[in-house]
Structure formats: C-alpha cells, structure tokens
Amino acid sequence: MSKIRVLIADDHALVREGIAAFLRFCDDIEVVGEASDGIEAIERAQKIKPDIVLMDIGMPKLGGLEATVELRKKDPNIKIIVLTQYDDREYISRFLKVGVSGYLLKKAVGSELVNAIRAVNRGEFYLFSSIASEVVAGYLDKDRKAIEEDPYEKLTDREKQVLKLIAEGDSHKEIASCLNISVKTVIAHQTNISEKLNIHSRTALVKFAISKGIIKLET
C-alpha cells in the first residue's frame, strides 16, 4: 500500500521538524517536503505533488490563505489541512470558502493530526473537535448577501495577495519580487485596492488588514 505523501508548510523550523519527527512513526504516512513560507509551499507542492499539504496561516511572503488560493487554482483537487494556532471564525470561514479539506489547531494531540491526515486522504473533511459545531453552524447560517457585501471580497485573488504584503510593510519592489510581477503592476494593484475599499493610505490599509484578520499583531 502506498504511503500518504505530506508536505509541511510552516515558518517555524522547530514546528516542521517536530511534526515530521512524529509522523515518521506512522507506517502509512511519509513527509516528502517542507516549506517555510507561502511561496515555497506553492513551488514545492507543484514539484513534489504531495497528497496533502499541512498549511500554517501566519507565514511571511504569502500567508497560508493566499498560498491555499493559489494552490487550489493550480490544482483544484489538492488536499490542504490548515494547521494553526488561530481559532478565529474569520479565518476559518475564509479557509472553508476556498475549499480546504480540514482545519486543525496546533494544540491538537499528535493522534488527532494523524486521524486528520488519514481522513482527508480518504476524501473526508476534518475539523478540530472543539470548534466543529460552532464553526459549521456559523458558516452554514451566515447570510450570503453579507459575504457578497464584504469589501474584502471585492478584491481579486492577486489583489488580496498584494494587500497582505502591503500590510506587512513590504515595499513595491519587494512585493514585485515576491509575486514575480513588475513594480508597475504592483502599483496598479494597490490603486485598484484603494479604489475598491475606498481606503487611500497605507496606514488605513494596515488597519483594514488587521480588522479582517489578514495579518495579526504579535502579542
């Protein structure tokens, strides 16, 4: 029987190493690669073709949400399990909306991570037990009109990527390098973002990003 091939995307090396070390004890699971940010996750997933990607949220360059959107565009069948410390409904709803296969908190015991990987590999959906009922109920009951009216949803996937990087303080040149686009294109995206959100300063864009859970202030 072939093993379940897993790629771990997390910006903390110790976390990646810890997960990889634990999963080595599972005869049916193989860690085939690691990534320290969203850009690496996309590149390595395309090259390695894992069965499942374990995706952190708060990573440099492209975060977990932006990387997930990009991976799902490139391969709609890819299976992604979010593995994070954040249990905010805002985060969970967005990941559910873009089609992840599971959402797990890092405080989960190792056996639950293994169960999640196996379940998702079978084609099932896996949600961390302590938030499952609340999140699913909130997601299913959420008014679709409210989702459509959310200013953030007016942005294209690329504009969402640019917004995150702007909010993190990256320069136009740094964003262009990260996304492999021109500086002129970055500026055009920022102009579109400002017009769609009716926000016309970097400070205000940062505040918007924080309010929407796009970036988090470290405490």
Q: What is the pLDDT along the chain (219 residues), one digit of tens a residue?
A: 689 999 999 999 999 999 999 999 999 999 999 999 999 999 999 999 999 999 999 898 889 999 999 999 999 889 999 998 888 777 888 888 899 999 999 887 788 999 999 999 999 999 887 666 666 566 555 545 555 567 888 899 999 999 999 998 999 999 999 999 999 999 999 999 999 999 988 889 998 988 887 887 664
Say yes or no: 155 and 48 in one domain. Answer: no
pTM of the predicted model as reported, rounded to 2 decimal places: 0.77
* Sign of the CA dihedral with 54 first, then 58, 61, and 67 last: positive
Q: Examine residue 218 and state whether it is found in any structural domain, yes or no.
A: no
Type of residue found at 187: I
Say yes or no: 130 and 39 in one domain. Answer: yes
Q: Examine residue 194 and state whether it is found in any structural domain, yes or no.
A: yes
Whole domain around residue 100: which residue ranges?
Answer: 4-141
Say yes or no: 11 and 51 in one domain. Answer: yes
Say yes or no: 57 and 13 in one domain. Answer: yes
Q: Examine residue 217 and state whether it is found in any structural domain, yes or no.
A: no
Look at residues 40, 42, 47, 54 and name the one whose alpha carbon lies nearest to residue 6.
Answer: 54
Q: Which of 141, 174, 199 is the last residue of a domain?
A: 141
Q: Which runs of E-coded beta strand occur in the chain? A: 4-9, 29-35, 52-55, 79-84, 102-105, 126-127
**Residue 93: per-residue pLDDT:** 81
**Residue 146: per-residue pLDDT:** 52
Using CA atoms, how far apart are residues 60 and 48, in angstroms rounded to an integer? 21
Question: CATH code at 169?
Answer: 1.10.10.10
Q: Which of 141, 174, 202 is the last residue of a domain?
A: 141
Using CA atoms, how far apart are residues 27 and 49, in angstroms rounded to an integer? 20
Say yes or no: 137 and 30 in one domain. Answer: yes
126-127 sheet: strands from edge to edge:
29-35, 4-9, 52-55, 79-84, 102-105, 126-127
How many domains are contained in the chain?
Answer: 2
Say yes or no: 122 and 206 in one domain. Answer: no
CB atoms within 10 A of CB 123: 8
Say yes or no: 88 and 59 in one domain. Answer: yes
CB contact set of 41 (below 8 Å; sequence gap of 6+): 7, 9, 35, 53, 55, 59, 62, 67, 71
Say yes or no: 153 and 137 in one domain. Answer: no
Say yes or no: 8 and 106 in one domain. Answer: yes
Say yes or no: 91 and 38 in one domain. Answer: yes
**Residue 218: per-residue pLDDT:** 60
Q: Examine residue 216 and state whether it is found in any structural domain, yes or no.
A: no
**Residue 136: per-residue pLDDT:** 59
Type of residue found at 87: D
SS3 54: strand
Using CA atoms, how far apart are residues 211 and 59, in angstroms rounded to an integer? 18
**Residue 22: per-residue pLDDT:** 93
Q: Could you give the angle at the alpha carbon of 30 between the alpha carbons of 29 and 33, nearest 5°?
A: 140
Say yes or no: 19 and 122 in one domain. Answer: yes
Say yes or no: 92 and 36 in one domain. Answer: yes
Query: Is 65:95 a contact under the CB 8 Å cutoff?
Result: yes
